[in-house]
Amino acid sequence: MSARTIDSQGNALTYATIEPDVGLKAALAMSRADIIDTVSESGLKGRGGAGFPTGMKWNFCAAEKADLKYIICNADEGEPGTFKDRVILSRYADLVFEGMTIGGRAIGATLGIVYLRAEYTYLRPHLNEVIKKRRERGLLGRSVMGVDGFDFDIIVAMGAGAYVCGEETALIESLEGFRGEPRNRPPFPAVAGLLNNPTVVNNVETLASVAAIFARGTEWFRAFGTDKSTGYKLFSVSGDCQKPGVYEFPWGITIADLLKEVGGEGAKAVQIGGASGVCVPARDFARRLAFEDIPTGGSVMVIGPQRDILHVAENFLEFFVEESCGQCTPCRLGNPQMLKAVRLLEEGACPPRFLADVKALAETMTVASKCGLGQTSPSAFLSILEGFEDEIRDRAPSA
Amino acid sequence: MAAPQTEALRADIGGLVDRLGPGRASLVPILQDIKRRYHEIDAETMQVVAEALDIHPVEVYSVASFYAFLGSRPQGVHVIRLCGTLSCDFAGKDAVAEALRRELGVEFGETTADGQVTLEWASCIGMCDQGPALLVDDDVHTRVTPDDVRAIVAACRADQRRADA
């Protein structure tokens, strides 16, 4: 079986310079508490988009007393415009598995599961080969790296085509054989996750970063980025630019500087964070990509001057109407209403009263939806209405 | 359907349950495998899977109908999924969509009359820097032009079985 991967262009990535398994060796020489302290000291926050402090998540799970615990690698990279996890899994799968192994040691898990999206099925043979080699080298299995009593293995489980399964509790439901419908929280997965056992769910890039942190140290990591957003981040850049691809930048880079690097100057807007993110107009390109300004999982879609901004909103809302799991009312009914409003605006025929109602509904969705999908799907809609008021108002009704 | 097919189906599902275990967590992998082999998860299949896992058939239907890569409707031997999300849209997915409609003679969501190819939209498939992109079964095609469509469709028509089925 040929192990196929697909690569992308971009700039040089730090991961290429990290020697595999140096970090794992360093971590296994530490106590479990020291491993978690190291992650906390690094300031690492979840790279999937939500930005939860990784050390804190591990600490919650480590504190639980249970015979079985799991660490799950969230490889359900479904946020529109995001493909950096595909590149990490293609080029640096060892670092991801290393991060999972370190996490497994820290929280006391014996099994790691990679939840790989169905659209990336072609990566499965490659990942299984890397896992097999790690078993052969004693980096997985019984007594990992000769550490007595530390048994840890990794398997790959396949998604079946549902954006919402990137949400960690929906992902767990899917692994258990149910519809990928998010759970009420609490309890959080760290307390009661897969099969009710304490479970950590981390993004692919978060886990690769863990391996890098243990290889190079927390001071090295903290030298990148800002105080509140430590380290570097991979950005998936697509759309109207000369050099789309996967780029690494320290947190805190301005949108303008990023656009310069990728040949995207002259853009009228940039969608940051995918369909669930925000649309930033050119006048705000001095803003920074960082948890303290614009947090993101790394999707950067460049929108050129020739594009119709309402078409952008329509594309995202079609996506959400398709991908809403339908479980909670605000999300199930709210997304189609936003789509209806955008289509009426495109025709220059949206009654102001209706638009005001839909905006109020969108605000309601952000607080009343059950999970991140419905809480964030209004972001693009609302930011486009606000940022492009003139363009939208001047819209001539089509004949 | 005729009894021998039912027997073959039962044997297949039995084999899958033996391999994956009789727990609920086996449901999605079983359905994925069935879908690959039979291109459909019909009512009878749901019944047999439900019996094997000791759950109600409606539970199987509920899961099958939830996931885009499962689904309860019959599909062709091959499924072409064109990415419809923004970056592929900017890169020209509409022209590729039109070429696919023309070449296959079906709309999105439909299967060719010979049961060979189903055409669908996909949500973002993570090829945003190389769009327009599409999946043929599990294989990715990037920077697809309308001119490429004829060869992609011809390959699907010529291949009577999925390589991985």
Report the distance separating Cα A358 and Cα A99, nearest Å.
Answer: 44
Give CA–CA dist A76/A395, Å, rounded: 38
* Cα dihedral sign, B43-B46-B52-B54: negative
Q: Is the pLDDT of residue B134 over 70?
A: yes
User: What is the nearest CA distance from B77 to chain A, expressed in angstroms?
Assistant: 17
SS3 B161: coil
Inform me whether the C-beta atom of residue B36 falls under 8 Å from chain A C-beta atoms: no
Residues 300-359 of A with CB under 8 A from B: 301, 304, 307, 311-312, 315-316, 318-319, 322-323, 325
Judged against a pLDDT cut of 50, whether residue B1 lies above it is answered with no
**Distance linking the first and last C-alpha atoms of chain A:** 56
Distance from CA of B86 to the nearest CA of A (A): 6
pLDDT in tens, chain A (399 residues): 346 778 899 999 999 999 999 999 999 999 999 999 999 999 999 999 899 999 999 999 999 999 999 999 999 999 999 999 999 999 999 999 999 999 999 999 999 999 999 999 999 999 999 999 999 999 999 999 999 999 999 999 999 999 999 999 999 999 999 999 999 999 999 999 999 999 999 999 999 999 999 999 999 999 999 999 999 999 999 999 999 999 999 999 999 999 999 999 999 999 999 999 999 999 999 999 999 999 999 999 999 999 999 999 999 999 999 999 999 999 999 999 999 999 999 999 999 999 999 999 999 999 999 999 999 999 999 999 999 998 898 776 654
Task: Look at residue A323 and give its three-state secondary structure.
Answer: helix
Q: Write the DSSP symbol of residue A250.
A: E
Given CATH 3.30.565.10, say whether it is the number of domain B78-164.
no
Scanning A198-257 for CB atoms below 8 A from B yields 236-240, 244-246
A372 and A276 Cβ atoms separated by less than 8 Å: yes
From A188's Cα to the closest Cα of chain B, the distance in A is 20
Q: Is some CB atom of chain B closer than 8 A to the CB atom of A6?
A: yes
Nearest in space to A130 (alpha carbons), one of A164, A91, A172: A91
Q: Are the Cβ atoms of A318 and B84 closer than 8 angstroms? A: yes
Is A184 within 8 Å of A192 (Cβ atoms)?
Answer: no
Q: Does residue B164 surpass a pLDDT of 80?
A: no
C-alpha distance from B99 to closest chain A C-alpha (Å): 20
**Spatial contact of A234 and A248, defined as CB atoms under 8 Å apart:** yes
Domain boundaries, chain B: 4-70, 78-164
Residue type present at position A241 = C
One-letter amino acid at B156 equals: C
Number of helices (H), then strands (E), belonging to chain A: the values are 15, 9
Backbone angles phi, psi at A262, to 5 degrees: -105, 5
Whose tokens are 């479980």? That residue is: A327
Report the residue of chain B nearest A86, measured CA to CA: B126
Are the beta carbons of B84 and B92 closer than 8 angstroms?
no
Q: With a cut of 0.90, is the ipTM above it?
A: yes
pLDDT at residue number B2:
42
Contact A111, A223 (CB under 8 A): no
pTM for this structure?
Answer: 0.95
> Could you tell me if A129 and A39 are in contact, meaning their C-beta atoms sit under 8 angstroms apart?
no
- The H helix count followed by the E strand count for chain B is 7, 4
Q: Which of A119, A127, A270, A312 to mutate to test the interface with B (most CBs of B within 10 A)?
A: A119
Specify the DSSP element, H or E, that contains A208.
Answer: helix A204-216
Chain A CB contacts of B26 below 8 Å: 177
Nearest by CB to B69, from A85, A118, A246: name it. Answer: A118
